[in-house]
Amino acid sequence: MIVEIHGVEVFGHHGVGEQERRQGQTFLVDVTLQIPEPSSDALAGTIDYRRVRDIVHAVNESGSFQLLETFTRAIADSVHEELLPEWVRVRVRKPGIAWAEWTAATVERP
């Protein structure tokens, strides 16, 4: 079963430029997980989507990342380690770029 959580919004002080790190900016995080199908209609049989949200927020608040790629990797690693999905894909989008609608980095973990 595929579970998708798109557009988790976080405000962080990530980036290469001093100004973007100082002022901070919004990032949008998309997490896609492959998990076993639940055997019952109970939350205990699946991944609580709020835990995914909390992991994204915890990584964002853990420090500052210069690269979008390393920020994305840190989220993917944390989701993978804490929730143990069969597979996870994390995409972090950085909207509001002067020359593009947004930029992004995507990481997958088996």
pLDDT at 66 (0 to 100)? 96
pLDDT given for residue 20 in this prediction: 87
Instruction: Note the pLDDT tens digit of each residue in 37-86.
Output: 999 999 989 999 999 999 999 999 999 999 999 999 999 999 999 999 99
> pLDDT by residue (tens digit) across 85-103?
999 999 999 998 889 999 9
Report how far residue 93's alpha carbon sits from residue 75's, in angstroms, rounded to the nearest whole number: 13
Give the residue numbers marked as catalytic: 94
pLDDT tens-digit series, residues 7-33: 999 999 999 989 889 999 999 999 999
Do residues 80 and 88 lie in contact, with contact meaning Cβ atoms separated by under 8 Å? yes
Q: In terms of DSSP bridges, do strands 102-109 and 25-34 run parallel, antiparallel, or are they unpaired? A: unpaired
Q: Yes or no: say if 34 and 4 are a contact pair by the CB < 8 Å rule.
A: no
- Our count of domains for the chain comes to 1
Domain of residue 54, CATH code = 3.30.1130.10
Cβ neighbour number for residue 83 with a 10 Å cutoff: 16
Residues spanned by the domain of 96: 2-38+45-109
Where do runs of H (alpha helix) occur along the chain?
18-23, 49-61, 68-83
